[in-house]
Amino acid sequence: MSLLAINSYSSNGKYRLTLRDNPATSIVVGWDQTSGNSPVVHYGTTDYGTDYSKYPSSKTPDRTIFYKGMNNTFARLSGLTPNTAYYFVIRDSQGTSQRYWFKTAPADNSRLSFIAGGDSRNNRTPRKNANSLVAKLKPHAVLFGGDMTNRDSNGEWIDWFNDWQLTIARDNRMFPIVAARGNHEGSNNSIYNLFDVPSSNVYYAITFGKNLVRAYTLNTEMSISGSQTTWLKNDLSGNGTNVIWKMAQYHKPMRPHVSGKREGNSQYSSWARLFYDEGVKLVIECDAHTVKTTWPVRPSTGSGNDEGFIRDDQNGTVYAGEGCWGAPLRSNNDNKTWTRNSGVFNQFKWIFVDANKIEARTIKVDNASQVGEVSNSNVFQTPSNLNIWSPSNGSVVTIKNTSVVDNQAPSVPTNLASSNITASSVSLNWNASTDNVAVSGYEVYQNNTLVSTTTSTGYTVNGLSANTNYSFRIKAKDAAGNISGFSNTESITTLDGSNTRYTLSINIIGQGLASGSGTYDAGSTVTITATPASGWEFDRWSGALSGTTSTTSIVMNSNKNITATFKEVIGGGNCNGISQYVAGTSYQLNEEVKNENQKFSCKVPGWCSSSAAWAYAPGTGMYWELAWTGTGNCGSKNSTVINEKDGKSFQVYPNPFKDQINIITSLPKSNAKYMIFVYDLKGNVIYEKNIFLESRNTNITLDPIVKYSGIYMLSIKDNEGNVIKTQRIIKE
């Protein structure tokens, strides 16, 4: 075994991020050190991939403990910059991990996103679904209310952490977990030793933002009265007085919505009045394995109370839960008069917090594989196909802040500029404003008249008159109604209505279609989209446009000729629906996984299921071929790109055609065979011809029998079956 092979892989896994202190400036990187020694976390704000030597900062472990069959290792990073991406690798005596990254929380009171839930227990399919949605929704933190496993055994915890790797996004971004203890954790050590929480008693609080929200994690599996409640009371009246919002999470609910569950009278007597008096506005409970949200309530034994609570929309506390991250579901058969809505399904809560309000949504997790992904730049935009529960009282539980009076206007928008001026429209862009709370939108003024509002820093004004002068200014506003002063003035003159029109021509190399060709007014912005045929993928744009993004745009300030090149995918097909390989997962004979853009079939389950990724990870481990059989590629690794010059050497005319089609070729080779096909839009071949080019410059005449007028596709293939040119043709 070579030294190079030894140093190619690190001996760690089961990664996790946790929080002990200020999430804007600190984080804990945790992992299982499976073998090797002397691990070091190398990190920094520039992505150097797996080249650990280039990262400017490093941290040795602060704590290592063998627990639940794992060498749990924790490096506590501090002194970080708020709201900043940090990239890291773990280097040990046997190699370097993959590059992962996280983003610190903001230090101001910018809007935050949380996921809250618990009870993942023993049903791995919904547990994995919920985990994968964490990766797609990208929260600032996950509040997890306990009962991670069923029996608190070594094997179950190893499976749990293997499944937790699904919370890592496709770009290897990780998200911190704030863990509470449940009754299926045999002791506080299960949380303290596996998540390095700041208290061995597993009750603690963390403040997010400057003073936006203080999140309390409490412990229902030890004495509730006494020292725990004394600590909570002191913290709420001390640290809690300086924050805008207070939230809490714990495992067992005060008033479960399952009739077979015991009432949480100790929680009620110790915490309910304290929550109400100190303004804790949202509480996440677990344990019952059902779904509930309540109206705001306050503790009361007076007339109209139901189990010690009465509805209080002005000052009450909202209770939400109750588990369903993978534990067996139970019937919601114990609703109260103050229950807002309840149900039975696998779920967690998706929570947005800003200075003015809290918004809580209940997310059904079973369709996780069909859900889109939020962008790293906007984690509040609902992704495609996200299944948000919409019961009778609405999909969003909104808790408004009635105590904050905001009289401060946002800053003035700056650097207003125009672009893409046409005879009837103009695009405006400006720099974002700032606000003590948050900017909620912008007002667009045309010649001193308000014409529109937008939440982005760009807007296109339409409906303008040709050859006319206009002036534009922008104001920023916040949710409290405060409005900034005007931005700078941007003056423009629209183009003449009779201005020149330009033609956009799109050529195709390979098999696929591209939309957008046509004639446009000068200055128009045209969106073009390349769509590959089955078995092909888009490769690049060329000509008057460059790039590899299939959907892009081009400004028409002259006639444009562009080419869309598609490449044929050889072998394997795609990997949609195939699970990503995770080291240590139990795999069965012939079970298929994907890894490193390839797919594999398990042939020796014992080795396939090994946690030693350095040895048996399919395609990358030193001995992977002993455990796996490679079954193909997922797509882009093996593909054929047609030479663009070959495609351009065939010129097809006339187009549209009546009866005959002429093809002139200047292909720089002779004595070559080619095949010509004409397809209808259903993909049926309606004409084909084999040709032999004896010379470099040849004129070919085709007489295709095409009965009906319409659009067809002409394709030219070389003798090896590679598509040289594909062109849309029109039969008159």
- Let me know: does 301 contact 269? Beta carbons within 8 Å: no
Residue 718 neighbours by CB distance under 10 Å: 16
Q: pLDDT averaged over the chain?
A: 89
Which pLDDT score, from 0 to 100, does residue 499 have?
62
Q: Is the pLDDT of residue 406 over 60?
A: yes
Q: Is the pLDDT of residue 107 over 90?
A: yes
Residue 133, burial from CB neighbour count under 10 angstroms (0-12, 13-18, 19+): buried
Question: Token pair 């770009």 is at which residue?
Answer: 171
Q: What are phi and psi of 721, to 5 degrees?
A: 90, 0
How many Å apart are CA 311 and CA 401, to the nearest integer? Answer: 17
Which pLDDT score, from 0 to 100, does residue 225 have?
93
- Let me know: does 598 contact 637? Beta carbons within 8 Å: yes
In which region does residue 478 sit, left (phi positive, over 0), alpha (psi from -120 to 50) or beta (all else)? Answer: beta
Q: Report CA-CA distances (Å) from 318 to 342, 614, 643.
A: 13, 48, 63
- Rg, C-alpha atoms of the chain: 31
Which pLDDT score, from 0 to 100, does residue 122 have?
86
| Closest C-alpha among 109, 156, 102, 107 to residue 134 | 102
Structure tokens at 642: 């047609």
Which pLDDT score, from 0 to 100, does residue 649 have?
62
How many Å apart are CA 340 and CA 727, to the nearest integer? Answer: 59
Q: Is the pLDDT of residue 571 over 60?
A: no
- 642 vs 621, residue with greater confidence: 621
If you average pLDDT over residues 510-536, what whole number do you get?
85
Residue 48 neighbours by CB distance under 10 Å: 16
| Least confident segment among 241-250, 388-397, 517-526, 720-729 | 720-729
Which pLDDT score, from 0 to 100, does residue 521 have?
82
| Least confident segment among 363-367, 427-431, 701-705 | 701-705
CA 298 to mean position of chain CA atoms: 37
How many Å apart are CA 420 and CA 554, to the nearest integer? Answer: 10
pLDDT digits (tens, 9 = 90+) for 579-624: 888 888 999 888 889 887 788 889 888 888 888 887 788 887 777 7
Structure tokens at 140: 């600032």
pLDDT band with cut points at 50, 70 and 90 for residue 648? low
DSSP 330: -
pLDDT digits (tens, 9 = 90+) for 450-467: 999 998 899 999 999 988
What's this model's pTM, rounded to 2 decimal places? 0.60
- Let me know: does 580 contact 618? Beta carbons within 8 Å: no
Question: Token pair 């760009």 is at which residue?
Answer: 458
pLDDT band with cut points at 50, 70 and 90 for residue 435? confident
Reported as type and span, the H/E element at residue 190 is: helix 189-195
Which pLDDT score, from 0 to 100, does residue 638 have?
43
Q: Is the pLDDT of residue 639 over 60?
A: no
Which pLDDT score, from 0 to 100, does residue 666 have?
64
In the chain the domains, ranked by start, together with CATH numbers, are 3-103 (2.60.40.380), 112-400 (3.60.21.10), 414-493 (2.60.40.10), 579-637 (2.10.10.20), 642-732 (2.60.40.1930)
Beta bridge partners of 461: 426
| Closest C-alpha among 125, 199, 108 to residue 166 | 125
Structure tokens at 312: 């209080």
Provide DSSP, 509-554.
Answer: ESSEEEE--EEEETTEEEEEEEEEPTTEEEEEEEES--BS-SEEEE
Q: Residue ranges of the alpha helices (H) in 85-184?
A: 124-137, 154-164
If you average pLDDT over residues 537-555, what whole number do you get?
88
Structure tokens at 20: 């002990």
pLDDT band with cut points at 50, 70 and 90 for residue 142? very high
If you average pLDDT over residues 675-690, what whole number do you get?
74
Residues in the chain, total: 732
Question: Residue type for 708, please?
Answer: Y
Q: What are phi and psi of 79, to 5 degrees?
A: 70, 25
| Least confident segment among 84-98, 124-138, 484-498 | 484-498
pLDDT band with cut points at 50, 70 and 90 for residue 682? low
Structure tokens at 479: 């949710």
pLDDT band with cut points at 50, 70 and 90 for residue 656? confident
pLDDT band with cut points at 50, 70 and 90 for residue 567? confident
Which pLDDT score, from 0 to 100, does residue 636 have?
45
Structure tokens at 528: 């073009």
Which pLDDT score, from 0 to 100, does residue 319 have?
98
Which pLDDT score, from 0 to 100, does residue 1 have?
30
pLDDT digits (tens, 9 = 90+) for 213-263: 999 999 999 999 999 999 999 999 998 888 999 999 999 999 999 999 999
pLDDT band with cut points at 50, 70 and 90 for residue 696? low
DSSP 595: E
Q: What share of the chain in percent tops pLDDT 70?
A: 91
- Let me know: does 294 contact 260? Beta carbons within 8 Å: no
pLDDT digits (tens, 9 = 90+) for 299-312: 999 999 999 999 99
Which pLDDT score, from 0 to 100, does residue 502 have?
85
pLDDT band with cut points at 50, 70 and 90 for residue 6? very low
pLDDT band with cut points at 50, 70 and 90 for residue 633? confident
pLDDT band with cut points at 50, 70 and 90 for residue 721? low
pLDDT digits (tens, 9 = 90+) for 83-106: 999 999 999 999 999 999 999 999
| Closest C-alpha among 10, 89, 12 to residue 49 | 89
If you average pLDDT over residues 719-725, what whole number do you get?
68
- 731 vs 132, residue with greater confidence: 132
Long-range contacts formed by 688-697: CB under 8 A, 24+ apart:
693/665, 693/667, 693/669, 694/670, 695/670, 696/665, 696/666, 696/667, 696/668, 696/669, 696/670, 697/664, 697/665, 697/666
How many Å apart are CA 24 and CA 54, to the nearest integer? Answer: 24
Q: Is the pLDDT of residue 522 over 90?
A: no
How many Å apart are CA 361 and CA 381, to the nearest integer? Answer: 13
